[in-house]
Amino acid sequence: DAGITQSPRHKVTETGTPVTLRCHQTENHRYMYWYRQDPGHGLRLIHYSYGVKDTDKGEVSDGYSVSRSKTEDFLLTLESATSSQTSVYFCAISASRWETQYFGPGTRLLVL
Amino acid sequence: AQTVTQSQPEMSVQEAETVTLSCTYDTSESDYYLFWYKQPPSRQMILVIRQEAYKQQNATENRFSVNFQKAAKSFSLKISDSQLGDAAMYFCAYTRIGGATNKLIFGTGTLLAVQP
């Protein structure tokens, strides 16, 4: 199994509060991704990174920001959480651009 | 825009039997990869199998095999000798080669139950 951890694994927060989710990898992979999983939608890409300090938007990026200051860490921030951001968030990594993506265990976020 | 469709929200199979999960996709690209991921109750996303569009030979991984029909844009997953541990949500996914992002596009999933 790819060495990917996510923290926290579960979080309950209130509307309007900032939230940061962390993805940590031990594989030294260049590419990292954040997806959200919602019923009826499968997984959808929020943001991705192709190197330290290099990030770009995915298809559902509104309300989210990311940062990557080290190869091993990719942070996802909800600046002001809303109930529509209640979801399960997955981090994924890949060694190169077209290599298979491997997923972390997921973070369940509930915004009240 | 590319789309992936899984038309079977739920399927059921008897232990030791064979089951086929369907997936169709829509793309105008010629170079792409297709995947099946398994998500058991633990929620972990596990890669089952990958198919490169330029390969005519269908991918196989132990009891899992695919039927890749490029012209029909169909990518079904066959699970042989089904086991209780195969019970999970199965997602079909597509990624285009050469685009700006390596974005996986997922279907909505098929929930597979395995009956003892």
Contact of A89 with chain B, judged by CB distance below 8 Å, is answered with: no
Confirm or reject contact between B91 and chain A (CB < 8 A): yes
- Would you call B33 and A48 a contact, using CB atoms and an 8 Å cutoff? no
**Most A CBs within 10 Å, among B102, B105, B108, B111, to test the A interface:** B102
- Distance of alpha carbon B96 from alpha carbon A45, whole angstroms: 14
Which residue on chain A is closest to B47 by alpha carbon? Answer: A102
Q: What is the SS3 assignment for chain A?
A: CCCEEEECCEEEECCCCCEEEEEEECCCCCEEEEEEEECCCEEEEEEEEEECCEEEECCCCCCEEEEEEECCEEEEEECCCCHHHCEEEEEEEECCCCCCCEECCCEEEEEC
Contact between B84 and B14 (Cβ < 8 Å): no
Assign B69 to helix, strand or coil: strand
Please tell me which residue, B101 or B42, carries the higher pLDDT value. B42
| Structural contact between residues B91 and A44, judged by C-beta atoms closer than 8 angstroms | no
Interface contact B7, partner A, CB < 8 A: no
B90 shares contact with chain A (CB less than 8 Å): no
Q: How confident is the model at residue B1 (pLDDT cuts 50, 70, 90)?
A: confident
The whole-angstrom distance between A94's CA and the closest CA on chain B is 9
Has residue B46 got a pLDDT over 60? Answer: yes
Look at residue A40 in the predicted model and tell me its pLDDT. 82
Read off φ and ψ for residue B85, nearest 5 degrees.
-70, -10
Asked if residue A92 lies in contact with residue A24, where contact means CB atoms within 8 angstroms, the answer is no
Sort out which chain B residues have CB atoms less than 8 A from A88's CB and list them: 43
Question: In this structure, how many other beta carbons lie within 10 angstroms of the beta carbon of residue A111?
Answer: 19
Q: List all residues 6 or more positions away from B57 whose beta carbon is below 8 Å from its beta carbon.
A: none
* CB A89 within 8 Å of CB A35: yes
Measure CB to CB from residue B109 to each of A33, A42, A88 and give the nearest one. Answer: A42
Touching check for B45 and chain A: CB below 8 Å?
A: yes
Cβ of B103 and A59 within 8 Å?
Answer: yes
Quickly state the pLDDT bin for B63 (edges 50, 70, 90). Answer: very high
Structure tokens at A19: 């939230």
| Mean pLDDT score across all residues of chain A | 94
> Which positions of chain A have pLDDT values less than 70?
1-2
- A45 vs B contacts (CB less than 8 Å): 101, 103-104
